[in-house]
Each structure stands twice: as C-alpha cells, then as structure tokens.
Structure 1
C-alpha cells in the first residue's frame, strides 16, 4: 500500500539541554524522513517553540524564520558571563550591593531597550564572521567584533523580582533575578538585552532562563514533546495550507487553474493586487499549490509546492 510521505510544519517544544540540530535529528528519525529543516534555532539552554518543516513544507520555512518572537526569561543582575547566559563562564561578579537596583532604576534600564534599537549581538552567537561562526571564534580565544543591527523590541516588561544571594566561584554574591517578557523582531538577542540592562545598571547581567512562547501566530501551547514516543508525530504535522492561511491572504483555485499555476503559467484571478505573498490553494481539497504575487489580476508564482510523493 502506498503512503504519502510526511509533509507539513511541526510545532516542537524543545527541552533544555539539546540543540536545535539535535531536535531536527530526532524528527528525522521519528518521521523516517531526511528532508527536515527549522525556522530559527534555539540555544541549548533555551526551551520552547521550535518550528520544523518536513518534506515540501520546508519551502515555507523561509517565510516563518522572519516572524516576530515572544519569550519569557530570567535576567540575573550582578554576574556577567562570557556568553551572556548561564552556559557561559562568569567574567565579572560585581554583585548588586553597591549599585542602584531599585525598581525605578531597573525600569529605566529596561525602558531604554524598548522600541527600535541598535543592538550588538552576543559574541557567542551563530552569526558568521568571514565565513566562520562567531561562537567558534570566541571559544578558540579569537577576537570577535560584531556589527550592531537594527531590531525592534515591542515589549520588555519585568513581571517578577527575587533579591537573593548566590555563590560565584566560592564567593557569596548579592544578585537580583528579574522575570521578564520580551516580544521582538527576528534577529533580536534576548541575551544581549540582559547584557545591556546589566551594563546600564553597572552590575553586569546574564540570562539564567529563556523560553520561546510565540513565533508569529504560533504558540508553544500547541507544540509537542518530540522525545515522547507516545506522541504521534505524523498526526502532529500541521498541513501546509493551514499554516499558510495563518500568514497570508488566500485565493482558491479550481483544478485547471491549479495545474496551470503548478506548471509555471500566469493565471487570472479575482484578487486585489498585493505586495506580499498570497497563498493559492485548491478549492476542492484545500491543498497549498504555491505562494504567489498578484498584479493586475494575474497570479505569478513566488514559491510552488509540488504534490508530495508517495512511499511504499
């Protein structure tokens, strides 16, 4: 009996301690499919929503990677690390005893990171410098200079505070742990936000926890645990048309128009002109045929989505 090969978007709740690459490897094993990609990585320390594409739906990943993200995180004031998170080595344990870390001072430092900002990414990041990952250079002790980039932080709110004492390199150090919620454009480093808040307060800071809760309209509440063998991963694959419908306007095509579009022909449609992609789906079985542009009543293919093959 022929079975359709896996095709769709998988919402995964990545656990702490594994890389995004490892999550892709697990998905490949469980779906018995080599063609799987992701729409943006999460650090091993981080948990939360990771979007994976399987089969032809990997073509959708380009349109998912740039979506805005929302995170919950914990920032520790008083200790800086070389990676700006808890996986790094402490490089300064100034504590907070001699700094103004009142709620008002914290709010001023956080508020300075809201809105359109120019942010220098964390040195230990996946950004390429002369073809090499910044984190590889940093771990080899090589100097890394990253260029500031424009990002937008639409939300950066402190939701909780815990003043405590921790031991750093055998020394008791007064710190403040801030629970925060951050919503931002793609490419924003929450670790860098923590670093810069710590710098503004004169305490140093790093992330002790990071969880991605939203990617565009997609929520971690709908994600699965890939490592739970009881979860039916095939059933969890979201249909390409359902994903596209959450991101783009939709135009329905009859069978003839769908075939012509798949063959690369320009076809007419009753749809207003648009700058962004429109999802072209079949009216009969709601299959995603392609992402198209619309100009003067004509559909032109941006990305096509061929009918997935079958496997024995």
Structure 2
C-alpha cells in the first residue's frame, strides 16, 4: 500500500486590501473567496455579499482590515446585464430549473413601445416577492432548503429600487425570443425575480439564461482579475493585484488628522473641527499618511464608526515600500 504524501500546510500571513474578482460561472461566492484566500495565504477574508453560482462578474473580496468596511459594498447599488428568454417559465427563474409553462410570445411584446412601457413600469421603487430558490431565511432555514424539499412557504414582499433599467430585444444572438436587461438597482434586488416579473408584464413569462454583474458601488469589470489569472501569477504579482482598503471608502469625504488627534480618534474618542455634517467620512492620519477608519460628522464633531487597529496600520505601512522608505513607521 502506497503511503499518502503529507499535506502541505499553508503558512498564513496578514494581508490587507481589496481584490476585485471576475467570478466565474458555477462557483459560489464563498468558493471564490476561499480560493483567493488560499492563493494569497491570507489570515482573514470576507466577501461583500453573495453572487449566484450561475452568475458571473464583479465580486469584491476583502482581506484583513478591509473586512471592517465590507458592509459599504453590500449596501451599494449594483448593475447587472441579464438575458431573459421569453415564453418559458421555470421553477428557479433561470435555466437550471424545471420548465413550468410554455406560452407563445405576442408579436407586440418585443416592440419598442411595449418594452418602453414595461421599462417605465419597473423603474423606481418596486416590491418583489423573494424567490424560493434564494438564501433568504425563514424560521432559521434558507428558502432554497424548503424548495429542495418541495415545500412552498409564504414570503412577504420586499421593497427595492430600480434606479436605471434598459430593455432591448436580443434576437440576433438567440434562436428564441429574448431580451437584454441592463439594470442598476438597490441592494436586495433579485434579478431572476425581476426577469420573471418583466416576462409576466409582457404577457408571456420569462426566465434568465444569462446573468453578469458588471458594476458594484462604482467598481467595474475593467479592474477585475480572474481566479485563473491569479493562480498563474507568482506571489508578488498576486499581492500587487490588491487595491488599498480605502478603495471601499472612495466615495466619502476625506478628513485628515495630525498625530495627536489621530491617536485619540483611534482610541474611539470624538474629535471637534470645522467639518461640515456628513453621514460618512473616511479618516486618515497625516504622519503617517494612512487610513485610520471611518466615521460621521454631526455639528462639527467627528464620531468614530469603524477603526483600524494600530497593528493593522503598521502592517499596511510595512507592506507599502514608499512608507517604509520614508521612515514614517516610527511615528505611529
């Protein structure tokens, strides 16, 4: 009997920053996260909300200090490109489910006038009934667990918002009637449900055959790397793919604090200054020039919300050659 080769234990290390992955088809968000975590040998990691295994596209992965701000991306608007096949409904709202019904597609369903009317109907605040094949929980169990057991449970409608919606025929690429859906929406929007509801409004039903997230919170596909490309890189190149943690705070006003004020802020103390009120701000130290955390400002008072630890700041600065060469590590 041949002895098994001993398993090589990965030596983990502190890694801080954001990795933008173009998630492949068939992989869950957590599977993508675990593979990237293993490739980077990172100690701590998390993603910014699940993307269906049958969906591809932008998936920000947070490492180390960046995990403290992952909620910002979870709450951010997202943009998707989907293709819906008309005339066929399925049990899951996508091509993986069993066909429930087939109906003829009215010729006027793909007319510019009809698509424009449905587009207006689904733009703005809308209510959605969460699909049974989703991770939303009911009495401690995910809805998809009930669905797999053949159990239908009552779901309350949820309010979401469609900021932008564009519908257009996709007849050139398909042998069946289909539409392209490009939608910018609030968090919690189910794109499969949107496709089904649009199909119902067109009078024929629909299910998704393609779903790709093309942007989330201002982060798009152009900045993403695939897991295959990441795996082919050496370790130094992989680390170079990481964006700094402050990428997650790029839309917030910036406040800079001197050394004494920065130390007090990092201790969780409120600071006073001539700052305008703001629901969210990114806070940096001046010397060293490093992200300290996030907060908000009320009546000239800076109130801490999420803080980096001194250890995290030191690790980030040590991994930044310009900071180390400037000799600023000794000042924290």
TM > 0.5 fold call: yes
Count of matched residue pairs: 298
Separation in 2, partners of 1:258, 1:165: 58
Matched-pair contact (CA < 8 Å) for 1:163–1:176: no
Deviation at residue 105 of structure 1 after TM alignment: 2.8
Cα deviation code 1:220-244 (max 9, x no counterpart): 1101112322343311111122431
Quote the residue 1:185 is aligned against: 186
Aligned to 1:284: 287
The alignment status of 1:137 with 2:140, answered yes or no, reads no
Q: What displacement does 1:165 show?
A: 8.1
Residue 270 of structure 1 corresponds to 274
Q: 1:117 to 1:305 in 2, by over 3 A?
A: same
Q: Shift of residue 127 of structure 1?
A: 0.8
The residue number in structure 1 matching 2:58 is 49
In the alignment, structure 1 segments of 5+ residues that lack a partner are 167-174
Cα distance in 1, alignment partners of residues 92 and 110 from structure 2? 26
TM-superposed CA distance for 1:86, in Å, is 1.5
- The answer (yes or no) to whether the contact 2:258–2:285 under 8 Å persists in 1 is yes
> Where do residues 143-222 of structure 1 align in structure 2 (5 Å cutoff)?
143-162=152-171, 175-222=176-223
User: 1 or 2 for the larger relative contact order (CA 8 Å, sep ≥6)?
Assistant: 1
Per-residue Cα deviation, 1:192-213 (whole angstroms, up to 9, x for no partner): 1110111122312011001111
2:38 corresponds to which of 29, 45, 49: 29
Q: How far did 1:188 drift?
A: 0.8
Instruction: Tell me the TM-score normalised to structure 2 length.
Output: 0.84
Structure 1 residue 163: deviation in Å?
7.3
Contact 2:48-2:73 within 8 A present in 1 as well: yes
Task: Please state which structure has a larger fraction of its residues in helix.
Answer: 2
Q: Distance in 2 between matches of 1:209 and 1:165?
A: 12
Larger strand proportion of the pair: 1
Q: Does 1:66 align with 2:75?
A: yes
Q: Conserved in 2, the CA contact under 8 Å of 1:13 and 1:47?
A: yes
Query: For 2:59 and 2:174, how far apart are their aligned partners in 1?
Result: 34
Distance across 2 between alignment mates of 1:12 and 1:164:
27
Q: Partner residue of 1:91? A: 100
- Per-residue deviation, residues 250-299 of structure 1 (Å, max 9, x unmatched): 1001122111111122222331122x121111123432111112233322
Which deviates more, 231-240 or 156-165?
156-165
Decide which moves more: 155-164 or 279-288: 155-164
